[in-house]
């Protein structure tokens, strides 16, 4: 995945966003202009690693290109996760069964494999996802 999306924190990897110095609005990924106040003073900021599920759905068929996930399609879920005081981030979810997903459930960031690369010693390609957090 694109390494510029992530940063390291003491708690582990976190998504890297921007925060507007003028109005405090956040974006993900980083961008140079503020979509709320139209200012242009955005600072890099690590996004929260935990949040709550705001909405979700499932992907029942293998998307067309530019999707590059593993050829044999395994249904997956995506959702928006509310990161308190920051924003709602769109992400894959590790749980693909809609009956086991609910709005408001606590989730945390994880890096998960989404594409096998058989001949690559580095192993599968990873992307970010959210997984139900265990209290």
Partner 1 sequence: MSGVAIVGIGMHRFGRTEGVSGRAQAVHAARRALDDAGLRFSDMQFGFGGSHSAGDADTLVSELGLTGLPFINVANGCATGGSALIAADAAIRSGTHDLGIVIGFDKHPRGAFDTDPADHGIGSWYGETGMMVTTQFFGMKIQRYLHDHGIKPDVLAEVSAKAFRNGARNPMAWRRKEMAAAEIAAAPMISHPLTQYMYCSPAEGAVALVLCRAEDAHHYTDRPVYLAAATFRSRRYGSFEVFSPWLALDRADSPTVEASAAAFAAAGIAPSAVDVAQIQDTESGAELMHMAETGLCAHGEQEELILSGATAIEGRLPINTDGGCLANGEPIGASGLRQVHENVLQLRGDAGEHQVPGNPQVGFTHVYGAPGISACTVLTREEPS
**Residues at the interface with partner 1 (CB under 8 A):** 1-2, 5, 17, 25-29, 35-36, 54-61, 63-69, 76-80, 82, 85-90, 92, 98, 103, 114, 127
For 44, half-sphere exposure in the C-beta direction (CA atoms, 13 angstrom radius) is: 8
In whole angstroms, how close is the CB of 73 to partner 1 at the nearest point?
10
In whole angstroms, how close is the CB of 49 to partner 1 at the nearest point?
15
Whichever of 10 and 87 has its CB closer to partner 1, that residue is 87
Q: Catalogue the long-range contacts made by 39-46 (C-beta closer than 8 Å, 24 or more residues apart).
A: 42/18, 43/18, 43/19, 44/7, 44/16, 44/17, 44/18, 45/16, 45/17, 45/18, 45/19, 45/86, 46/7, 46/9, 46/14, 46/15, 46/16, 46/17
Whichever of 10 and 66 has its CB closer to partner 1, that residue is 66
Whichever of 3 and 118 has its CB closer to partner 1, that residue is 3
- Gap between the Cα atoms of 20 and 16, Å rounded: 14
Whichever of 49 and 92 has its CB closer to partner 1, that residue is 92
Longest dimension (CA), the chain: 48
In whole angstroms, how close is the CB of 99 to partner 1 at the nearest point?
9
In whole angstroms, how close is the CB of 9 to partner 1 at the nearest point?
18
């Amino acid at each position: 995945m694109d390494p510029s999306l992530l940063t390291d924190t003491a708690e582990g990897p976190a998504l890297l966003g921007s925060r507007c110095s003028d109005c405090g609005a956040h974006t993900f990924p980083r961008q140079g202009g503020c979509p709320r106040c139209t200012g242009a003073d955005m600072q890099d900021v690590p996004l929260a690693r935990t949040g709550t599920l705001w909405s979700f759905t499932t992907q029942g068929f293998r998307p067309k290109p530019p999707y590059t996930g593993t050829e044999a399609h395994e249904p997956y879920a995506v959702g928006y996760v509310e990161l308190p005081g920051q924003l709602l981030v769109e992400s894959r979810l590790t749980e693909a069964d809609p009956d086991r997903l609910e709005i408001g459930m606590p989730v945390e960031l994880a890096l998960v494999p989404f594409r096998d690369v058989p001949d690559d010693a580095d192993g599968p390609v990873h992307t970010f996802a959210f997984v139900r957090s265990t209290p």
